[in-house]
Structure 1
Amino acid sequence: MTRRLQATDRHVTAYLVGLGLAAGALLAALLLAGYGLNGLWATLALAGVAAFAERWSVKLTSRAEFEQSISLLPTLFAAAAFGPVPAMLVSATSMLGNPCRPPTRWGIYLLSRSITGAVAGLVASQSSHLLDSRLAGIALATCVAALVAEALDGIFAGITYTLRGHGGLLDPIRTIAPVVLGSVPLYAPVVAVLAYAYHEVSPWTLPLFFIPALAAQRSFILYQEQRRLAQDLSAANLQLERANLSFATALVATLDARDRYTAGHSAAVAIYAKDIAERMGLDEQHQRFAHLCGLVHDIGKIGLPPGLLEKPGALNLEERRQMEEHATIGERILANVDDYTEIARIVRHHHERVDGQGYPDGLSADAIPLISRILGVADAYDAMTSDRPYRDAMPSRVARLRLAQAVESQFDTSVVAAFEAILAGATEEYRLGTRGDFTFEVQEKTEQAA
């Protein structure tokens, strides 16, 4: 661990030195090329605004790793109005507003900002003469400089983030990109107009710069709030999903007290249903939903008459009719639970047949919910491959043949085809439902750790 930290420190220090050499060489090249410090007093005023803006930077995440400020706006104004050297000065000076960072990190940001400002100013100077109209030229220069500056800022942030061992190169870019894409089209044209007004109307138009600056700052704050609310909502949804899973496993545990087979069967059906849903291209949310429905699909058996589940032999006709009531009993139980309305509907229909000969409602084909059709296949397969007091388990190949023979009568062809594709490449433990994770206790722990 210590060696890794030392290696990280060496890489960061080397990066700092490299940035310093690059910034110095870039400044020297600009001066030799004839670029000077134009508009000194306006540049100093913009530098002050940049430093003040950096002091009020907005965190884009719960940690302080990714921040955004409006310091780019005065840099952009300087680039469009005065050229690369003033833009370099304004951009570098912005870091004076945030002196509390660790020295190495502060130095990296100062040097990378100076390079960003210089390059943005150089691009603006070269592109401002491409159009005949003075206003159009400044507008083009400002927009191009904004894109270049934001791109360089993201690249430098990604390199720094990676060297410090906090993540990948693209992590900062993914976080910052939505803000940039939303704000650049708004502020770049306004800055261009103000830069044009500075030259063509009066230098006293410079204070008008505060209007887009404040608007941009407000947009960053709004983005921060929206991101925080989205994260809070995601956390609440995750907590609700875990509570739902805990409740479902508690129900299965209650059933387990009466019938050990049903509890193990429900755990296997849950895994099979989730995997079938994934194979059929359903999104992750629907896969988790299929898993949850699989866990509770037989919960209605709690309400069956005593002795029916425990009967060692085959059921007679009356007993089979009683057993069929477990689908509607399960629906009634689950319908009384908050947020389980759709699960209750799925459970009610998991014994329907595509030919309309199933129960309890005799639905057919697409009238049967897809997750119910998935549960029907998973349920039948695990029942056939499990030992019961009155019969031995079927081999997997025999059970799969039975499924294939029942397509378009009992089962949905696409569901059976998806399950067969899974089973064809699966281990024997998976096919027989004996793998270690085919218990609802293990599934609950796995889901809650996810």
Structure 2
Amino acid sequence: MFSTVLVANRGEIALRVARACRELGIRTVAVYSTADRDSAVVRFADEAVHIGPPPARASYLNIPAVVEAARRTGAQAVHPGYGFLSEDPDFAEVCEANGLTFIGPSPDVLSRLGDKAACRALMAEAGLPVLPGSTGPLAGAADAKEAAQRTGYPVILKAVAGGGGRGMAVVTDPDRLLDTYRRTSAHARSVFGDDRLYLERYVERARHVEVQVLCDRHGAVVHLGERDCSVQRHHQKLVEETPAPDLPARLRSAMCDAAVRGARAVGYTGVGTFEFVLTPERDFHLMEVNCRLQVEHPVTEMVTGIDLVREQILVAAGHPLTLRQEDVVHRGVAVECRVNAEDPSRDFAPTPGLLTEFEAPGGPFVRVDTHAFPGWRIGPDYDSLLAKAVVWAPDRERALARMDRVLEELRVRGEGVCTTAGFLRKVLARPEFRAGRHTTGLVAEMTG
């Protein structure tokens, strides 16, 4: 087992990882930007290293600074959390070159699955269903037009190097395709440093269902069930739950089997998520594979009792999985709501500011993952996630009632700070959500 792990992230996920390390008896090193010098994980970790100014590219995305911090502090491994460098094959390769274990898939797997167009092709070869679309990156606007005509409208353009809901654009009108292609390509270049796009058929009134897999370095692969992530704004998730409501057992089994087959096909290691789009006709198609821990991993932990971060660390240290597929038992229902520092009335615009009050809710079967505290300043440089409220109950009706109470009980006040908590309560009250028949268009319908 590692004696020291460097956590190459910030916010609630950095604290989550550091806590798992502490329980394993592992010393932790936090890295921080100038803006995060008083953060919760800096206070919690055994050691903390300043790696740069607030802009992420000068700090949390600064590979030489992160690796040097690991070397200086005697870390044997690096946990990247999610976002930032978590799916960067170059970072994983640099870690290996410097004698550091990257807690995640191999650089080769990250490279093959991180290229979304290549991932589609690989998974199609493995027998997973993929949406009709381009067979690889588009060669240009003319190629996009031809692929759209062949696929049929509406279509969605996606950045090859995209992720986190960014670098996507839906096109319903053929006359807008070329302009949308140019704008999306330029956006992808500025955000990801890669302007390549691919194209898929866009499924209207779809559901977003994903499958969690866990794989060791000895060939063992298990799935931990599925999560419904259909409540989204701007292609980014707001509410996640497991099990997915209104999902027939045969379909659940087919999706989970497909994820296991895909993981085996590429020699996946660690935790990963196979994300599927579910059509109104109840056909499912792979969208992408996320080669990291997901923001919504707590709901899976709540129903299975499996600590995913602990398992990540053990797998990275070379331990075989201690569980088989038949050992994975799901109990009850878990729901997660992402409470962001955003104003839903202004198209979810971020609302940075100083927190004057923060009181997390409690009670039975309630978990709140957060890095917030009174006196913490929410800055403009990073993601607006403030807290993840997670609940468990024996059934969905009680889980939703508990979540509504939790969101009502949450106390957040600050200078100019708004949160999504009130909006999330409205989501929970929607008839289509209560019935488990909501789609990815729910939030757009609510906000007009």
Q: Do these two structures clear the TM 0.5 threshold for a shared fold by scoring above it?
A: no
- Determine which structure has more spread, i.e. the larger CA radius of gyration: 1
Compute the TM-score of the two structures, normalised by the length of structure 1.
0.23
TM-score, normalised via structure 2 length? 0.23
Normalized per residue, the structure richer in helix is: 1
**Structure (1 or 2) with the greater strand fraction:** 2
